């Protein structure tokens, strides 16, 4: 789930990616560092990288976490039951994941690193990223570090773009939509965690009450992205660079089932956005990749 960003408290999870200005993008689970001057990765290699770094673990469900908000936690941890691991790095079938990791590292070094040696050597000396990517919080990184990451990316690295990405079938959004509206009754850290997007939920309920739960979740996933985009403007140093067109803020939505990506750019008019207007904003350069 992409979290609502707040200037003085917890916020969404961020990660940075260096992309060259005119990159031919194929969506992957993590950004690719590609500063200006590097060669464009071939489609076949991107596909190989996506397939090569997704080992499948055999799951065994043998116990459930006992918590006062088990339904909320279950939505966030769907299909993430406890693993029974032997020797720390081997599955029950005896597969050595470190050996597999080694082979994939060597494959990357041979097929990617040596082919773009100059690019990686330059990257080792200095970085000049064009994008900051803010994605789903599935990595479970602490949100307290987001303000510093934003400040470093915008003021020090001077990125030209911030891309906020959400995705379909988001467990965090589903948990949020199932939560009781009375926030004072929250009893778990999980509920405190997902409630940051409560405004996106309220707006979704107001406009989609006639739709099914799954359809409401899909709407809320995109609504959460919109709110996060506008909340970025509450940082004065971000708003100033956006107003001067030194920084552009984009939204993205990845459909996991259909492998499609929807992208749009905030069309900022240079006026302050109050609480009632968050979620209603102009966009441009709307495109759909399929």
- How far is Cα 219 from Cα 234, in angstroms, rounded to an integer? 24
- DSSP secondary structure of 100-165: HHHHHHHHHIIIIIGGGHHHHHHHHH----SEEEE--GGG---GGGHHHHHHIIIIIS--SEEEEE
166: β partners: 253
Write down the pLDDT at residue 190: 60
C-alpha distances in Å from residue 23, one per residue of 39, 153, 167, 192, 236? 9, 19, 21, 38, 29
- Maximal C-alpha separation, the chain: 60
15-289: CATH class: alpha beta
pLDDT digits (tens, 9 = 90+) for 196-233: 677 788 888 888 889 998 888 888 888 888 888 888 99
The predicted model gives 79-105 an average pLDDT of 68
Write down the pLDDT at residue 231: 84
Strands of 260-266's sheet in order across: 15-17, 131-134, 161-167, 248-255, 260-266, 283-289
Write down the pLDDT at residue 95: 67
Write down the pLDDT at residue 6: 42
Task: Indicate the annotated binding residues.
Answer: 136, 138, 167, 170
- How far is Cα 252 from Cα 271, in angstroms, rounded to an integer? 23
Task: Indicate the annotated binding residues for Zn(2+).
Answer: 136, 138, 167, 170
Write down the pLDDT at residue 127: 87
Write down the pLDDT at residue 184: 56
Q: List the structure tokens of 47.
A: 């596909």
- Hey, how many other C-beta atoms are within 10 angstroms of the C-beta on 180? 10
Three-state SS sequence of 190-228: HHHHHHHHHHHHHHHHHHHCCCCHHHHHHHHHHHHHHHH
183: pLDDT strictly greater than 70: no
Q: Which of the pair, 279 or 146, is modelled with greater confidence?
A: 146
132: pLDDT strictly greater than 90: yes
């Amino acid at each position: 789930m992409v979290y609502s960003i707040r200037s003085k408290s917890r916020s969404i999870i961020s990660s940075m990616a260096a992309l060259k200005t005119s990159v031919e993008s194929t969506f992957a689970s993590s950004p690719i560092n590609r500063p200006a001057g590097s060669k464009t990765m071939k489609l076949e290699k991107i596909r190989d990288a996506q397939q090569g770094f997704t080992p499948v673990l055999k799951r065994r469900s043998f116990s459930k976490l006992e918590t006062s908000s088990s339904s909320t936690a279950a939505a966030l941890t769907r299909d993430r039951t406890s693993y029974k691991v032997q020797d720390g790095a081997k599955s029950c079938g005896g597969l050595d994941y470190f050996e597999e990791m080694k082979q994939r590292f060597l494959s990357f070094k041979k097929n990617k690193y040596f082919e773009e040696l100059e690019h990686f050597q330059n990257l080792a000396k200095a970085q000049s990223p064009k994008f900051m990517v803010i994605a789903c919080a599935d990595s479970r990184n602490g949100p307290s570090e987001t303000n510093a990451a934003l400040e470093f990316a915008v003021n020090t690295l001077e990125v030209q773009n911030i891309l906020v990405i959400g995705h379909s079938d988001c467990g965090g959004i589903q948990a949020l939509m199932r939560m009781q509206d009375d926030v004072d009754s929250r009893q778990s850290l999980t509920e405190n965690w997902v409630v940051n997007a409560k405004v996106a939920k309220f707006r979704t309920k107001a406009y989609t009450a006639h739709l099914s739960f799954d359809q409401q979740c899909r709407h809320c996933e995109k609504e959460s992205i919109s709110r996060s985009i506008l909340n970025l403007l509450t940082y004065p140093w971000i708003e100033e660079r956006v107003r001067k067109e030194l920084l552009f803020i984009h939204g993205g939505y990845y459909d996991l089932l259909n492998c499609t990506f929807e992208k749009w750019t905030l069309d900022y008019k240079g006026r302050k956005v109050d609480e009632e207007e968050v979620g209603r904003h102009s966009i441009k350069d709307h495109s759909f990749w399929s």
